[in-house]
A and B are shown apart, each in its own frame.
Chain A
Amino acid sequence: MSSDQALADFLDKAEDWAQDLAASLELLGKQPERSDVVDRVFQTTHNYKNSAILGFVRLAGLAHRMEDVLTLVRQQAIAVNQAVLDALYAGSDLIAEMVAAIGRGEGDGTVNLSGIIEELGRWAPPEQDPAGPAAPSANPPAAQAPAEAPAPAVVEAAPDPQLLGAFLEDAEDRSQKLASLLSALEPGAANREAIHETFRAAHDLKSASATAGFHLMSRLAHRMEDVFQKVRDGTLEIAEPVRDALLAGSDRIAEMVAAIGRGEAEGTVDTAAAIADLSAFAPAGPAGPGTPEAAPARPVMTEQSFGAFERAQVREAGDRGESLFRLTCEMDPAEEMRFARAYLLYTGLEDAVNIVAVDPPMDPAAVEPDAQGNVPDDRPYAHLTVWFTSSGDGSEALSAAAGTGTLKVERLEAADLLGSIPAGPSAAAEPGQRSTVERTTIRVDTRKLDTLWSLVAELVQAKARVSTISDRLGRGDDAENVRTGLSEAFDSLDKISGGMQQAMMETRMIPIRVIFEKFPRLVRDLSRKLHKAIDLETIGADTEIDRGIVEALSDPLMHLLRNAVDHGVEFPEDRVRHGKSERGRVRVSANQQGGRIVIEVSDDGRGIDVEAVRRKALAQGIPGAAGMDERELCELVFRPGFSTREIVSELSGRGVGMDVVATRVRTDLKGEVLLKSRAGAGTQVTLLLPLTLTIMRTLLVRGESHVFAVPLSGVETTTRVLNTEIRGAGERLACVWQDAEIPLFTIGGLLGRPSRRAEELSAVILRRGGSRACLVVDELLEEREIVIKPLDDLANHRRLFSGVSVREDGTLVFILDTSFVPEEGS
């Protein structure tokens, strides 16, 4: 098996594991006492560990840490509480992220693990395993939470008696010096030099003991150093209790040195009291491991968010013949000084190339300690992105930045950045620069394959029959007999090809379960955050749908569910006050009705007050709002820009991003979305989707002597328009349909050719959401189911078509993309 195959196989399996893990974690949340469930979580987690063989060491490391926690759960050393569950969930999320990144060809290095390793470490401190990822140290002087694992040290050097002797000599010297300096320090006296000396002695003890592997001593010395620092900075007075605490600390260190000298462990000396006393004067800062929250979200820079300054630099560099590159650096999770490492990289790059931008910003103030001596969080610098221009091939940057972490340099298309058409999110990467793992395999239910096999067998038979008829024809058989035979053969071929089309289509179908599985987690997290009690019901997870649709459907569905939980379902006390049960209910169902998939997301929450919508519509000056019925008012919710913050509460929040849901479903998926709601009783959103995106029901029309296909999902009706009814001139035409003026297009106009006008014209009324448009054609042909083939951009420079289909006679039918119909409000 080649490594590519191994990778594809891993990605394939990882998909299964992710489902297992999500399901078993959910079960664990419900029945934490069941050891078989714990075993199942453990097993699925364990699977990821094998990925180390493929080189995904960070992924394997995270799985390993999760296993450590699960082992303790198994041993009943820790209970499965919310916090443990949260940590495991967070771990599984990051695993999924890493798998996704691997799938994109980025490897497992781009996902930040420092927070999760720390969090898992709180439950199961990592063992002294030099191969495992080291626990990231927090920023001093805030460090040293009890659960924090000692950083790996040069332990292999410590047993050397000569080295140990040297260490003990140094340590004894420093601790004696410390004690004598402390005794001499007059309370309140401003003896700066003496204070500096004591600080240095504590500092020496800290680093030497850490290097020698004596972590208790190092931690104690660290605490003392923190106190000295405050004294040195003038934020703490050397009062009697401070001096006592420091003296006690230096006594404990002297005892430890003596114990180690006798061959005993440093742990025989109890340092807890001394550390507690010292901490009273220099408490651990807020950025310590006690707050496992990651750094607050910071807007991340991308080349798309370049400002005028950056763009000007790129343009000028382009004029000089330089290319634009992006370097990303992923630091070793064990890197302690992330800012300094990033700064070193940056200064090195400055000499080698022309830097355009850097993210996060390279501001040395980012690491200046504040008045309390707390050092800011520099974790964001572990993921560094530098954009630069160079006349080389980018490798000069790699050598300048070597040794900083995992580096990647990509050449970017500056034209995409500077051109008027905004580049897609992935358009920047040049093909060949990245080795994205192509998913070339799909999994197909063997029953579906069996159906195909039997159809192929029938096809072979039908072929044999046709060849017999041909023979009979050659022998001069009766013409009537031959005709009957041919007709039978054709019938069976028709049946077989229809069956094969169906069977092939079904191989693209996957159960919608893959989306539904994400819901329990989403509802659980949201309801906990919002303090709501919500029961989620999912129905019809086995309903099968085209895999292309599933991928596009995930976000809109998640959005609808989030809306239902966040804005639909009321708080328990409000529900009780309105005579409802305390627990809200959210229901997601899927089923197939005819050739369509129907998905419903409903809640029993506060619903939408349609009169409030009407008031809002009137206030916004939307025409016809006064006379709208309930259905039309609900449709307004899908209008872009309709919902505003102040109506959010009134509307139970629907409308926030509902236009995005509608666009995705209607335009991308050729489906329909409907909303029904009753104030006080709940809301129901229904999505009607085609079974597949590869076969589409269309209306064939002729225009400009070509045949075009119009997706039926976008057709309201067909009609006739009199030439005299057309208003306007040139490219802006309109006509009246159902008492409203709607824009009018002609096929010729769309193709950029002048259109001929007959007296009476055939027309298709197109719909897009709530808006309508008229498309004038030469002739309406027929409704037809067609198989869509994608169209490359070259043939579609006007973006007029969504695809192409090949007719029986080999001619092409272009499928009109009806998004030229103006959206509401625009």
Chain B
Amino acid sequence: MRTTILIADDLSFMRMIEKEILTERGYHVVGEAVDGLDAVEKYKRLRPDVVVMDITMPNMNGLEAMRRILQIDPGARIIMCSALGQQHLIVDAIKAGVKDFIVKPFKPDRMLAAIQKALAAPSEGAGA
């Protein structure tokens, strides 16, 4: 079965670019969330293998969304997408259990490597 991925970003351009990169490499983008709340809802519904989550989003930011998702599913594989200058936020995310992060503007290789790494790591939860 193809690896399923949920993209969460409030910018449609970013979602589009990420989706293109992932689809090209054979991943199945099962859903796109436009903010943190949406991401949590879609995660519950779609149970993707990996979430690629932006930090800066309206309604609920990526950090909070990540925490909620990990509450629902401690084995969730989440990759944070961050811009420079948000290093302290990424550190918080790592503390909370995020699997990896990528820095915008990212190279496709970086994103794919992060996803592969997240998939390779043992998943401690039941849901993934």
User: Could you list which residues of chain A lie within 8 angstroms of chain B, going by C-beta atoms?
Assistant: 137, 139-141, 143, 151-154, 157, 160, 162-163, 166-167, 169-171, 197, 200, 203-204, 206-208, 210-212, 218, 225, 336-337, 339-340, 343-344, 347-348, 364, 367-369, 375, 378, 399, 402-403
Please tell me which one of the listed residues B17, B82, B94, B113 contacts residue A154 in the complex, with CB atoms under 8 A apart: B17
- Assess the B94–A340 pair: CB atoms within 8 A: yes
- Assess the A208–B83 pair: CB atoms within 8 A: no
- Assess the A344–B84 pair: CB atoms within 8 A: no
Given known A-B contacts A166-B12, A204-B56, A337-B87, A151 and B105 have beta carbons under 8 A apart: yes
- Assess the B87–A210 pair: CB atoms within 8 A: no
- Assess the A403–B13 pair: CB atoms within 8 A: no
Given known A-B contacts A154-B106, A200-B58, A212-B13, A207 and B94 have beta carbons under 8 A apart: no
Q: Does B10 contact A (CB under 8 A)?
A: yes
Nearest first, the 6 closest Cβ-Cβ pairs linking A and B are A140-B85, A211-B105, A210-B105, A340-B90, A166-B13, A167-B13
Please tell me which one of the listed residues A211, A336, A368 contacts residue B84 in the complex, with CB atoms under 8 A apart: A336
A349 to B95, CA, bound (A): 13
Interface residues of B in 52-100 (CB under 8 A from A): 56, 58, 82-85, 87-88, 90-91, 94-95, 100
Q: Which of B100, B103, B117 has the most CB of A within 10 A?
A: B103
Please tell me which one of the listed residues B11, B21, B100 contacts residue A208 in the complex, with CB atoms under 8 A apart: B11
Please tell me which one of the listed residues B14, B17, B82, B117 contacts residue A337 in the complex, with CB atoms under 8 A apart: B82
Q: Nearest Cβ distance between residue A251 and chain B, in whole angstroms?
A: 21
Q: Does B107 contact A (CB under 8 A)?
A: yes
- Chain A residues in 8 Å Cβ range of B46: none
- Chain B residues in 8 Å Cβ range of A336: 84, 103
Q: Does B104 contact A (CB under 8 A)?
A: yes
- Assess the B13–A169 pair: CB atoms within 8 A: yes
Q: Does B108 contact A (CB under 8 A)?
A: yes
Q: Which of B10, B11, B87 has the most CB of A within 10 A?
A: B87
Q: Nearest Cβ distance between residue A536 and chain B, in whole angstroms?
A: 46
- Assess the A337–B103 pair: CB atoms within 8 A: yes
A550 to B58, CA, bound (A): 67
- Assess the B14–A208 pair: CB atoms within 8 A: yes
A152 to B108, CA, bound (A): 11
- Chain B residues in 8 Å Cβ range of A399: 120
- Assess the A200–B56 pair: CB atoms within 8 A: yes
Q: Which of A200, A206, A207, A399 has the most CB of B within 10 A?
A: A207
Q: Does B43 contact A (CB under 8 A)?
A: no
Interface residues of B in 13-62 (CB under 8 A from A): 13-14, 16-17, 20-21, 56, 58
A157 to B85, CA, bound (A): 24
Q: Does B6 contact A (CB under 8 A)?
A: no
- Chain B residues in 8 Å Cβ range of A207: 11, 14, 83, 104-105
- Assess the B91–A339 pair: CB atoms within 8 A: yes
A171 to B11, CA, bound (A): 9
Please tell me which one of the listed residues A154, A171, A343, A375 contacts residue B105 in the complex, with CB atoms under 8 A apart: A154
Q: Nearest Cβ distance between residue B118 and chain A, in whole angstroms?
A: 10
A340 to B117, CA, bound (A): 16
**Interchain residue pairs with CB less than 8 A apart (21):** A139-B84, A141-B85, A143-B84, A162-B16, A166-B16, A169-B12, A200-B58, A203-B56, A206-B83, A207-B104, A208-B14, A337-B82, A339-B91, A340-B101, A347-B94, A364-B95, A375-B88, A402-B117, A402-B120, A403-B100, A403-B117
- Assess the A403–B85 pair: CB atoms within 8 A: no
- Assess the A204–B91 pair: CB atoms within 8 A: no
A339 to B95, CA, bound (A): 13
A348 to B82, CA, bound (A): 20
Q: Does B7 contact A (CB under 8 A)?
A: no
Closest to B15 in A: A166
Q: Nearest Cβ distance between residue B37 and chain A, in whole angstroms?
A: 15
Q: Does B114 contact A (CB under 8 A)?
A: yes
A160 to B20, CA, bound (A): 11
Closest to A337 in B: B87
Q: Nearest Cβ distance between residue B77 and chain A, in whole angstroms?
A: 13
- Chain B residues in 8 Å Cβ range of A339: 87, 91
- Chain B residues in 8 Å Cβ range of A141: 85
- Chain B residues in 8 Å Cβ range of A171: 13
